Every structure is written in structure tokens, then in C-alpha cells.
């Protein structure tokens, strides 16, 4: 059965069960906004083809026949998620519920497109081969691959328009990965993919609207509004790092000045502390150590970074009014040095009730980012991109 050819209600049923199940049919209909008849009609082919299954009585003490719980069959399909960084690939094999089955990391010795694609293909073989299966287990073939990259990524065309940390321009990555692996592939911005992961099984579960802000080599933002992760009309959305928040003369990776990222990314922080101390060999760990030891110069750099982040986060709250903003990325390891200034700037600039938005700090390893890529691939299974196949139908 090709899920992309099923009515939208079938995708809605599967998505609701994936994120909120198992559920009784009555509860499934209520949460999906479908009548009992519609739930029965769209569930039948999903049951027949093994995408969902009946799990037994719900345990509710209701008069009459006990209601039966319905849930997805995790083993029905497998997906691979891969996060590409400037020096490493992080991959994860998951089941239909995005539960991790195995992970693997491999270094990148070159950012050349061909070299990276070949490394992706090797990683896919590692994850989908014997290492990705238990002893004596066969399991389904990998249905599709979700690859995530930082920067301006057009998931619709499968193209990396621009990735500053890889120095890629106009790379048709989805087609290259499909050609190298023989498996359908989708690509997207890494922060949007991580936002999908948080929406499905992280700190965004059950929220109507939330945002995810990541602080690291760049500063990114994913936004989920009324249950939809926003991609933007041109594949660009949530570019918090390039929001102008001050006059400053520091040049951002985008070529402009005054951006959040030019002040608050991990590299920007290192650069500023190096400049202020005159120590060109100083690392991020050194900068953090100096600031925590009370060095006024280092602390001032973190304070400026915190204010820029706080202003940017307040802008997100003012624009979309989320219930929660999750702050993550490798930069949150030093969150104690940002925290006060972030919250002070947020409180100063969040307008009205937007100031009630909850700020949650959530450190997430790169494996979770890879899981986001796999979740994105699973999501595209039943919500395919316009004009693109949802993948092979025989898996």
C-alpha cells in the first residue's frame, strides 16, 4: 500500500497514533477530529497492510463491550537519519515510532560534496546492514533516509542552497544520496528536523505551538505552530541567527553585521575572547573556564551573547506566541553564563502575554539531531512533498 495515495484522513490517523497512541477508536476520532465512521474506514487498509494493529482492551471501565486500543506497529518500517556537521556524520536507524535501534558516528576528512556523499552511503550501509539488526533478525528494509544540514535548505527540491559551515552552494543532496544508496532520501535544515523530533517525542509533545532555539556553531530556530513545523514559502524560516539585534561591527557568516549569530555563536564567543585576551590559541572550553573563574573580559563576552540571544528569543515569542521555547545546542553547556542576561532581555522585550512563554533549557546530543532526520523521513512517508514519491511501496 502506498500511503501517499491514501486520503488525508489516513495520514491524520497514522500521525495521531504515532504521536499520541495507542488510543481507542473513539479517542482517536476525537483527537483527529474524525467521525467514528471515518476512523473505521481509513483504519481498515492500515490494519490490513500492517501499519497499525489492535492491542487489546483499553482497560476503561465502560458499560458494554470493552473498547480496543489501536497503535502503530513499530517494526513495520525502518528509517535512517543522518546529521552532517563540518567534521562528522552522525547516523541513527529507527523504527516507525522513531525509537532508536542503532547509532553510528564517522569522521569527515573533507567537505567536498562527493566525499561527503560517499561517506553518507557507507554510513547507510553500516546502519542498515548486520549492525542494524539483532541476532537472527531480518526486519524490513530501510524505507527512506532523512539527511539534515545547517543553512538554507530547500526540502521541496532536495537542494542545499547554501551551507556556510560546509561551504556548499546549490547542492542537489537528496538526488545524490538516492543515487549513492538506492534508497529514497529527503533533506532539510537540521534545526527544523530537530523540531520535528521534539514535536513527536520531546519537549514539544502535546503543545499547540512551540519554538526550538539552538546555540552552537550557528544560532537556529525551528517553529511549530498549530501542530505544523514551519518551513516557509522558500524553505527559509526561523533564521534567528540572522536577526539584527544591534549595531556592532562583527561580520556574520551571512556577510551582514549586527546579527545574533555574529555575537552569540560558539565561534563568535571564542573569537571575541581571543581578541580581548590576545590569546589566539584559546578554545571555547578555555573561554568558559575563564568566565566561570570570574574573568571580567570573558564574562562580558558571554553577557553580550546572552543579551543578543534574549532579544532574539523575545522576538520569536512576540511573532508566534508559543507556549514554550526550548533552548538547546552544544552552546547550552555554558548556559549558566548566559542565563541571567537571556532572561533579563527576554523579560524586557517580550510583549504583553508573550512574556508568559516558558523557557526550557534542554541539552540534546547530536544523536538526537540524527533521530530528527529519521523522524522527518518517517513523517514524509505519510505526508510526502508535493511532486515527490513517498518512497518505495514494496517495503
Q: What is the pLDDT of residues 44-73, one digit of tens each?
A: 989 998 999 998 776 555 555 568 899 999
Burial label for 264, CB within 10 Å (0-12, 13-18, 19+), is: buried
**Helix residue ranges, H only, the chain:** 8-20, 25-32, 36-48, 113-128, 173-181, 190-201, 260-264, 266-277, 284-292, 296-320, 335-349, 366-382
Q: How confident is the model at residue 393 (pLDDT cuts 50, 70, 90)?
A: very low
Give the tens place of pLDDT for each residue, 354-374. 999 999 999 988 899 999 999
Report the C-alpha gap between 214 and 231 in whole angstroms.
16
Superfamily classification of domain 205-361: ATPase, nucleotide binding domain (3.30.420.40)
| Domain ranges across the chain | 3-72, 76-195+367-382, 205-361
b/e code 96-121 from CB counts within 10 Å (16+ = b): bbbeebbbbeeebeeeebeebbebbb
pLDDT at 4: 59
Average pLDDT over residues 148-154: 92
Question: Is the model's pLDDT at 144 over the cut of 60?
Answer: yes
Question: Is the model's pLDDT at 209 over the cut of 90?
Answer: yes
Superfamily classification of domain 76-195+367-382: ATPase, nucleotide binding domain (3.30.420.40)
205-361 and 76-195+367-382 share a CATH fold: yes
Report the C-alpha gap between 344 and 310 in whole angstroms.
7
b/e code 79-90 from CB counts within 10 Å (16+ = b): bbbbbbbeeebb
Q: How confident is the model at residue 387 (pLDDT cuts 50, 70, 90)?
A: very low
Give the tens place of pLDDT for each residue, 216-258. 988 999 999 988 888 887 777 888 999 998 767 888 888 888 8
Question: Is the model's pLDDT at 135 over the cut of 50?
Answer: no
Report the C-alpha gap between 302 and 335 in whole angstroms.
9
pLDDT at 378: 87
Average pLDDT over residues 199-212: 90
Amino acid at each position: 500500500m502506498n500511503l501517499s495515495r491514501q486520503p488525508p484522513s489516513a495520514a491524520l490517523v497514522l500521525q495521531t497514533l504515532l504521536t499520541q497512541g495507542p488510543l481507542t477508536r473513539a479517542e482517536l476520532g476525537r483527537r483527529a477530529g474524525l467521525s467514528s465512521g471515518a476512523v473505521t474506514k481509513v483504519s481498515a487498509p492500515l490494519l490490513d497492510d500492517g501499519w497499525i494493529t489492535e492491542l487489546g482492551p483499553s482497560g476503561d471501565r465502560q458499560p458494554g463491550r470493552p473498547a480496543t486500543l489501536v497503535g502503530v506497529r513499530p517494526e513495520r518500517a525502518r528509517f535512517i537519519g543522518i546529521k552532517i556537521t563540518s567534521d562528522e556524520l552522525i547516523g541513527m536507524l529507527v523504527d516507525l515510532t522513531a525509537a532508536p535501534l542503532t547509532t553510528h558516528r564517522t569522521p569527515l576528512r573533507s567537505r567536498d560534496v562527493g566525499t561527503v556523499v560517499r561517506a553518507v552511503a557507507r554510513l547507510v550501509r553500516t546502519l542498515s546492514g548486520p549492525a542494524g539488526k539483532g541476532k537472527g533478525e531480518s526486519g524490513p528494509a530501510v524505507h527512506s533516509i532523512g539527511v539534515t544540514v545547517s543553512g538554507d535548505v530547500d526540502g521541496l527540491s532536495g537542494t542545499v542552497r547554501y551551507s556556510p559551515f560546509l561551504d556548499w552552494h546549490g547542492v542537489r543532496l537528496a538526488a545524490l544520496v538516492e543515487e549513492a544508496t538506492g534508497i529514497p532520501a529527503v533533506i532539510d535544515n537540521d534545526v527544523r528536523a530537530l523540531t520535528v523530533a521534539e514535536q513527536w517525542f520531546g519537549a514539544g509533545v502535546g503543545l499547540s505551538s512551540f519554538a526550538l532555539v539552538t546555540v552552537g556553531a550557528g544560532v537556529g530556530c525551528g517553529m511549530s505552530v498549530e501542530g505544523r513545523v514551519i518551513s516557509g514559502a522558500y524553505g527559509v524560516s526561523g533564521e534567528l541567527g540572522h536577526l539584527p539585534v544591534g549595531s556592532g561591527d562583527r561580520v556574520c557568516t551571512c556577510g551582514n553585521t549586527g546579527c545574533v549569530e555574529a555575537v552569540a555563536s560558539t565561534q563568535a564567543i571564542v573569537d571575541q575572547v581571543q581578541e580581548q585576551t590576545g590569546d589566539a590559541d584559546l578554545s571555547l572550553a578555555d573561554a568558559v573556564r575563564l568566565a566561570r573563574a570570574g574573568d571580567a573580559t570573558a564574562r562580558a563576552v558571554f553577557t553580550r551573547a546572552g543579551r543578543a540571544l534574549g532579544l532574539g528569543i523575545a522576538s520569536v515569542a512576540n511573532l508566534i506566541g508559543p507556549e514554550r521555547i526550548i533552548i538547546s545546542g552544544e552552546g547550552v553547556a555554558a548556559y549558566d553564563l548566559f542565563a541571567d542576561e537571556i532572561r533579563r532581555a527576554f523579560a524586557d522585550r517580550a510583549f504583553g502575554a508573550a512574556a508568559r512563554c516558558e523557557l526550557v533549557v534542554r541539552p540534546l546530543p547530536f544523536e538526537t539531531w540524527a533521530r530528527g532526520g529519521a523522524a522527518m523521513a518517517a513523517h514524509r512517508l505519510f505526508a510526502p512533498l508535493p511532486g515527490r514519491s513517498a518512497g518505495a511501496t514494496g517495503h
